[in-house]
Amino acid sequence: MLFEKVLIANRGEIAVRIQRACKEMGIKTVAVHSVIDRDAMHVRLADESVCVGPASSKLSYMNMGALLSACELTGAQAIHPGFGFLSENATFAQAVQDHGIVFIGPTPEHIRVMGDKVEAKKTALSLGLQTVPGSEGEISTLEEAHSISDKIGYPVLIKASAGGGGRGMRVCHNPCDLKEHIEHASAEAQSCFGHSGVYIEKFLACPRHIEFQILGDHFRRVLCLGERDCSVQRRHQKIWEEALCPVLTPSQRNQMYTKIIHAMERFGYQGLGTLEFLYEDGNFYFIEMNTRVQVEHPVTEMIYGLDLIRLQLQVAQGIPLSYTQDDLRPFGHAIECRINAEDPENFCPSPGKISAYAVPGGPFVRVDSALFSGYTVPSNYDSLISKLVVWGITREECIARMRRALHEYVISGIRTLIPLHLRLCDEPDIQNATYHIKWLESYLSGQN
């Protein structure tokens, strides 16, 4: 089915990003918004807009009934969920389909399987991907937890099967603390995700987080659009992302691309997806799959010269992929800095009114944001307010350009992570790409 009108069930920069692709494709857009977002950029730029509830995202952006009604009301044929909110909710994807509307994403079953981390690991194993050593499924008794942890060796990581966004995870360094950590992780999982099940994994010392971008059409063809290195993290949240990964050799990456394409073709995956791995001592360990577009997708777009949202909309319309893996030629290097409305020292959220706003420009600089001067960043939603993405022919040039663009970027009235990113550009470990997933936290605590 060719789309004439798409409803975007999201807000902020990703809603604007999706609108941009739709507009360039001649597709009309419907924005949905909460009461406090009525003057937001994503509403101003849309062809139509519908208020779907009060400020609380549970009652608005995650209000399935209101979103489906908005679709019926406006005659939108498809829903783009963006990321976060209902993007990985299999019940929502199914409900959308049941209403005769296209859900722009994979099948509800694929979302369900990959949304349960235990099932995702089992599936990845069965598709020939290596996973982090640990329990085979959720742990049911303390004895089982002890015997698995003794077998794989401490430290171990207790993770919520329903986890996401770095929540519901606890590191345990010795057997005496195991019971307490399991109880904490379970309680946190229950309160965040409504499911208390946890599993155990070996806690890897200093791995890198490397993830592979894939795109599948409805004809069992899958492309791998390279990888991203997202090792610069704080509390399991990515801050700085790059493509391609600066430390992989061409043969390592091609081996992984082949393996992943084969696995995902067997799985019959449709749409955009990302397979996340931890990489240590030359080994890749699958940790999870995200069945949606990711925050950091622009770095991939920059090096391939492709619009991933356009491609996502095309495959959702049943159009076969028009590229082969051999057609894909990454070029140069790209880096994304996440600009959060947070204090750059203590990371406290910093919502409020933007008194002055000036975006950087010049060659190969991209800003994905929904900010404008006079806009008030609400406290109700995620603190990600802008993504600064730059491209360079070499990684070195890319970092120099990022530093220059960060200096040009003016966001007054609130605190942001810009000063932190400026410091990162000057760090030898960043410049030499000798970082891993624990690097940023030890840097921030002054241990580097």
Binding site for ligand ADP (CB under 6 A): 132, 157, 163-166, 201-204, 209, 233, 236, 276, 278, 287-288, 437
Q: Which C-beta is closer to ligand ADP: that of 31 or that of 437?
A: 437
Closest CA to 292 of 312, 311, 310: 312
Virtual CA dihedral for 326, 104, 6, 309, nearest 10 degrees?
-30
Beta carbon of residue 377, minimum distance to ligand ADP (angstroms, whole number): 23
Three-class SS of 350-374: CCEECCEEECCCCCCEEEEECCCCC
Identity of the residue, 204 or 313, whose beta carbon is nearer to ligand ADP in the bound complex: 204
Alpha-carbon torsion angle 102, 195, 187, 290, nearest 10: -40
By beta-carbon proximity to ligand ADP, the closer residue of 288 and 296 is 288
Q: Are 409 and 388 spatial neighbours (Cβ–Cβ below 8 Å)?
A: yes
Provide, rounded to whole angstroms, the least separation between the CB of residue 354 and ligand ADP.
Answer: 29
d(CA 441, CA 448): 9
Spatial distance between the Cα atoms of 171 and 157, rounded to a whole number of angstroms: 5
Distance between CA atoms of residues 317 and 284, nearest Å: 33
Q: Which CB, 157 or 185, lies closer to ligand ADP? A: 157
Are 300 and 135 contacting, i.e. CB atoms less than 8 angstroms apart?
Answer: no
What is the rounded distance in angstroms from the CA atom of residue 262 to the CA atom of residue 256? 10
Amino acid symbol at 17: R
Q: Which two tokens stand for residue 242?
A: 């790059």
Please report, for residues 88, 89, 167, 184, the alpha-carbon distance to residue 198 in angstroms, rounded to integers and kept in the order given: 19, 19, 12, 10
The rounded distance, in Å, linking the Cα atoms of 32 and 7 is 8
Q: Between 334 and 440, whose beta carbon lies closer to ligand ADP?
A: 440
**Least separation in angstroms between CB 276 and ligand ADP:** 5
In the complex with ligand ADP, the residue whose CB is nearer, 53 or 207, is 207
Enumerate the active-site residues: 292
Min CB(350)–ligand ADP separation in Å? 23
Tell me the two tokens of residue 251: 């043969």
| CB-nearer residue toward ligand ADP: 25 or 444 | 444
Closest C-alpha to 169, from 193, 136, 143:
193
H/E element holding 408?
helix 395-408
Q: Please return the burial class of 328, using the count of CB atoms within 10 Å of its CB with bins 0-12, 13-18 and 19+.
A: middle
Give me the helix-helix angle, 178-193 and 142-152, nearest 10°: 110
